[in-house]
A = this chain, B = another copy of it.
Amino acid sequence: MTVSRVINNTGNIREETRERVLDAIEKLNYHPNSMARGLNNNRIHSIGVATSLSSSHILVASSPFFHGLLNGIESSLMKHQSDLVISTRRGHKGTSDYFRLFYERKVDGIILISTYLDSSDVEEMLANNIPCVVIGTRTDSDRIVCIDSDNFQAGKEITERLIEKGHRKIGFIRVSEQNSNVEERYRGFGEAMKAHGLEPGEEHVFSVRMEEEEEAGRRVMKAVAAMADPPTAVIASNDFLAIGMIREAQRLGIPIPGELSVVGFDAMETGRVIQPSLYSMRQPLGEMGFLAAETLMRLIEDPHDAGSSRIFPMEPVPGDSMAPPK
């Protein structure tokens, strides 16, 4: 007990005793057992991060998005002296399988990174009664805190930039998976077009499978190149696709932005390096991750705190891949 008091700096300890204890700890190379601690006082000082972003490998798949968020999450955890348990496990078919890991590990709270949330996920989160913050999508339930960026506004804004430049025939690449980010971006696109009395040509709206990433972009580029009446600009719903398009255009000898403007979302590093550099919209991922973790910490500390959702605006990241149409 005295050792416990020394370690946790609680209660009254005579200075000499403290030193003796610390000496012994040093000598014995003692480390407190955080499992026993957690078992005892129900606080393990770690949180779980789950993602249902499509694709098999949790850390790798989701690269730019996941990475930026994790950076922000980390900063917050460091502040709160908590750790991160990242799951990797057991078939992991979907979200709830990740959750199971966290229930077993008894993490203090969960951050769910997901661009799509179905109602069973929501129910499960509520039922399990564990503090939880969602990043990357929104729900109707006011009992779940969501941190997201304003994909609708971003889609609208980037479309408006193109229209300002004089584009009328603007294409859009959607993805076939359920993905609220992409859906919102597309909705913003439609809204901006309508506001300017434009309508997207049916054959100018593409739908691809998200996992194909760059390859899908290349395919769209080929399709555009073969069109009798091609769009003068294409909005790719993410930078992978946009980069695929640009690289394929290079291969085909189609000048970008001369012949076609291409823009994307998420401001990936490769978009900065490619020629022409990619015009994109950035989500403030670091801030989002940080806020999510801070909020989660508050929920953990105080079960009565309801937390509050927050939508971050996205910012344009200028690049040379956008120009007026010929």
Contact = CB atoms under 8 A, between A and B. Distances in A.
Nearest to A60: B71
Interface stretch (A33-41, A134-142, A216-224, A226-234): A33-41
A89 B83 CA distance: 7
Interface stretch (A101-109, A158-166, A297-305, A316-324): A101-109
Interface string A95-123: 00000110111100000000000000000
Contacts of A83: 85-89, 101, 105
Nearest to A85: B85
A104 B32 contact: yes
A104 B33 contact: yes
B29 A35 contact: no
A57 interface: yes
A78 interface: yes
Per DSSP, are chain A's interface residues mostly helix, strand or loop, or mixed?
helix
A127 interface: yes
A81 interface: yes
A49 to B, nearest CB: 9
Interface string A22-34: 0000000101111
Interface of A: 29, 31-36, 38-39, 44, 46, 57-60, 63, 67, 70-71, 74-75, 77-78, 81-90, 100-101, 103-106, 127-128, 243, 247, 250, 269-270, 273-275
